[in-house]
Amino acid sequence: MSGKSIPPVDYLSWYVPRLKEQRPHDLSQSGFAYDWGVDTDSEKMLNFWTSGQDPAQWVADRYGVETNQVCVAHGACQSISLAILAALPENRPRAVGVEMPSFAVVSQSARLLGCDVIPYHRGPNEGPWTLNRKEILEILPKVGVLAMTPVMNPTGEMISEEDQQWLIEVTRAAGVNIVSDEVYLDAAKGTEFYRPMYELAENSISINSLTKTYGLGPIRFGWMIGAPELIQNAKNAFQNMQGLASAPTVSIAESVFSRLDEALGGIWKAREENLPKLMEVLHHHGIEWNPPPFGIFGAFSIGMDAVDAMARFGKPLGLLATPGGMFHSELKDYLRIAWGGSPESFEAAMPVLSQFLTSIQEGNA
């Protein structure tokens, strides 16, 4: 795949122009909004880390691993490509099984690397967001890597413990490695749902970043954690494709890394304050929905194509939310709502969301 055959990321092609409109009621953000008060002194930012530590050490200390299990990269998107390259066994097919629904970058990164992509599913038709195990068993002989997102985007649903353990067992037996995009998982720290793959499976690479749960998306600081052999592969790939990490990125990351739990506390507070307001609106409109047990977003059916609904009813109201169809065609009538903004802005958006749902229901009557 090269030249004109490189596909766009449909979600970003749709989303970025609408984000630039700065609609006053924005419920689309997939990352937590947190004011870090970062010192942006330009001279300091142009110097590499001031503590003398390898940035991998900050990650290792936070997650209780060794530095040779950590590779730092520029955000989760770059980490996905590096992890796929690192995890592809030389004696296996150059193909990646990709969980659906998912963010397009996961599958399209594999294609850009010259890999075949074979989808497998976790919902919506396999029960309450459970794995289609039959599909996975069928594709295991054909792939070298399975890519997964434990906390699904756009639903916010965590993979069940039973499905996760089963996936580890069958991939290990088949000689297939796992690339696990865990950018939302830290929101579950301290709960039964926090089950990072690097703790459970030696044949896996876990991907994380400061973007989604920590509110530092613009600096593009991410990392991979896994077995030393796999991580050394990732480091080699990073050096070939990138050389060194960006000094400003490293500098800003260093200034906040010891305080990351502040953001996680903020997520639980935002959930406590904002989610009941959303549930009240949905109940008023007869929409039954069980929100995910942690995190800052979820998705539910609105009864019509969400892209069309945003164009017809959302834009005139100054409302922005994310259509589920950007992640899977079978979720086209789903809308992802994020509750990670300020309580004031979220409360102000609720009457607007209610009017949006009224317009849909009246139009469908």
Tell me, what CATH number does 288's domain have? 3.90.1150.10
Please tell me the distance from the alpha carbon of residue 235 to that of residue 245, in angstroms, as a whole number.
11
Claim to verify: residue 245 and residue 265 sit in the same structural domain:
no
pLDDT exceeds 60 at position 331:
yes
Q: Are 247 and 48 in contact (CB under 8 A)?
A: yes
Claim to verify: residue 77 and residue 199 sit in the same structural domain:
yes
Claim to verify: residue 169 and residue 223 sit in the same structural domain:
yes
Of 259, 290, 325, the one marking the end of a domain is: 259
Claim to verify: residue 124 and residue 235 sit in the same structural domain:
yes
Q: What does the pLDDT read at residue 218? A: 83
Of 233, 259, 285, the one marking the end of a domain is: 259
Residue 179 lies in a domain: yes
Q: Write down the mean pLDDT value for the chain.
A: 92
Q: What does the pLDDT read at residue 7? A: 83
Pairing relationship of beta strands 334-338 and 25-26 according to DSSP bridges: unpaired
Q: What is the pTM of this model?
A: 0.93
Please provide the size of the chain in residues.
365
Instruction: Give me Rg for the CA atoms of the chain.
Output: 20
User: How confident is the model over 96-133, as pLDDT tens digits?
Assistant: 999 999 988 888 999 999 999 999 999 876 457 999 99
Residue 365 lies in a domain: no
Can you spell out the DSSP letters for 229-277? HHHHHHHHHHHHHTSS--HHHHHHHHHHGGGHHHHHHHHHHHHHHHHHH
Claim to verify: residue 312 and residue 163 sit in the same structural domain:
no
Q: What does the pLDDT read at residue 101? A: 92
Three-state DSSP at 209 gives strand
Amino acid type, 291: P
Claim to verify: residue 98 and residue 204 sit in the same structural domain:
yes
Residue 2 lies in a domain: no
Which residues, 6 or more positions from 1, have their beta carbon under 8 angstroms from its beta carbon? Answer: 7, 111, 112, 114
Q: Are 335 and 105 in contact (CB under 8 A)?
A: no
Q: What does the pLDDT read at residue 136? A: 98
pLDDT exceeds 90 at position 183:
yes
Claim to verify: residue 46 and residue 161 sit in the same structural domain:
yes
Domain hosting 178: range is: 42-259
Q: What does the pLDDT read at residue 11? A: 83
Q: What does the pLDDT read at residue 42? A: 54
- Structural tokens at position 99: 């969980």
Residue 89 lies in a domain: yes
Domain count, the chain: 2
Residue 66 lies in a domain: yes
**Which of 25-34, 154-163, 330-339 has the lowest average pLDDT?**
25-34
Residue 4 lies in a domain: no
Claim to verify: residue 153 and residue 213 sit in the same structural domain:
yes
- At 49, the pLDDT band (50, 70, 90 cuts) reads low
End-to-end alpha-carbon separation of the chain, Å? 46
Residue 144 lies in a domain: yes
Claim to verify: residue 210 and residue 344 sit in the same structural domain:
no
Claim to verify: residue 254 and residue 288 sit in the same structural domain:
no
CA atoms within 13 A on the CB side of 24: 10
pLDDT exceeds 80 at position 48:
no
Residue 200 lies in a domain: yes
Claim to verify: residue 308 and residue 225 sit in the same structural domain:
no
Claim to verify: residue 163 and residue 281 sit in the same structural domain:
no
Helix (H) or strand (E) holding 97: strand 95-100
Q: What does the pLDDT read at residue 204? A: 98
Three-state DSSP at 336 gives strand
Three-state DSSP at 40 gives coil
Please tell me the distance from the alpha carbon of residue 13 to that of residue 11, in angstroms, as a whole number.
5
Q: Are 156 and 298 in contact (CB under 8 A)?
A: yes
What Å distances lie between residue 357 and 204, 326, 360, 363, CA to CA? 42, 20, 5, 10
Indicate the DSSP class of residue 285: T
Q: 3-state secondary structure string, 164-200?
A: HHHHHHHHHHHCCEEEEECCCHHHHCCCCCCCCHHHH
Q: Are 319 and 353 in contact (CB under 8 A)?
A: yes
Q: Are 161 and 195 in contact (CB under 8 A)?
A: yes
Can you state the angle between helices 228-241 and 75-87, rounded to 10 degrees? 120
Of 240, 259, 278, the one marking the end of a domain is: 259
User: How confident is the model over 236-278, as pLDDT tens digits?
Assistant: 999 999 888 888 888 888 888 999 999 999 999 999 999 999 9
Average pLDDT rounded to a whole number, residues 10-28: 92
pLDDT exceeds 90 at position 47:
no
User: How confident is the model over 200-229, as pLDDT tens digits?
Assistant: 999 999 999 999 999 988 889 999 999 999
Tell me, what CATH number does 150's domain have? 3.40.640.10
Taking alpha carbons only, the member of 241, 253, 250, 207 closest to residue 226 is 207
